[in-house]
Amino acid sequence: MGEMKVSLCGIELDNPVIPASGTFGFGYEFAELYDINVLGTFSFKGTTREMRFGNPTPRIAECASGMLNSVGLQNPGVEKVIEEELPKLKKCFGKKVMANVSGFAVEDYVYCCKRLGECEQVGWLEVNVSCPNVHGGGMSFGTDAKSAAEVTSAVRKVTDKPVIIKLSPNVTDIASIARACEDAGADGISLINTLLGMRIDLKKKKPLLANVTGGLSGAAVFPVALRMVYQVHKAVKIPVVGMGGVSCAEDVIEMMLAGATAVEVGAANLINPYACRDIIEKLPEVMDKYKITSLKDIIGGIG
């Protein structure tokens, strides 16, 4: 069997498959279905400084080859995550976990990263800069290189854990934003977050989502995600975590050839709760089919 181990920011993973934030909760629900220790790791639910109820319903809308969501970062807040969620997780997951952090001001990111960075269970901090900057007119931190770098620099100062900046695809030049984050001290880049979209109810002549627009995920976004992973890998020297429409072992191989060191699986978990387990089980067969002896060797190996 081929070698599936990879190293992400200095931490070895048994395989590169990582359930994406927002699609795997805090892990223990899935542990009732299968042994989640087969995963490389997983990125837990996006966590903010204060508890958030999220956006009004309806929050989900189906579309061809994907789905729209506007959940709005519903979570119990960072202190509850540390006090309640991580202890539950420890009972069923023995590996380092990736903490996904969101915020609406630089101070929010700093506080959450400092607190979660102090947790022994946390291996990486995945910092989602797709949130609105409340001090910048509501524009996402991740749509501006200077703002993304500001967040990166601020969180880098308060933790020794690897900082992976999660970028928004809703930009014209994602490579320049990735480079700015690298220059500001990021240890890795993850992408893509969801693409902005909407659907309309023809009978009611109103948007299907209460929030009007939402994030598009699923197989429909895979070619866009692959292109952006390729561009960012060419632009930076730090590891890239690829995601966006990944639903099978072949997709994982494509992402890695484009430049991803590890690969997150999102919407597929909502369709099939065993998706990540099934992908991991299928990877050796796909590696053998394409004569791949080690996944480390194919990172950025596109001809």
DSSP character for 139?
-
d(CA 112, CA 163): 12
**What's the Rg (C-alpha) of the chain?**
18
Q: Is 131 annotated as catalytic?
A: yes
Cα 147 → chain centroid: 19
Please give the helix or strand (H or E) that residue 18 lies within, else none. Answer: strand 17-19
Catalytic residue among 9, 112, 113, 131, which? 131
d(CA 78, CA 282): 35
Cβ neighbours for 57, distance < 8 A, ≥ 6 positions apart: 210
- Report DSSP letters for 144-157, one per residue: SHHHHHHHHHHHHT
Beta bridge partners, 140, equal 132
Helix and strand numbers (H, E) in the chain are 10, 15
- Among 274, 234, 252, smallest CA distance to 242 is for 252
Just list the catalytic residues.
Answer: 131
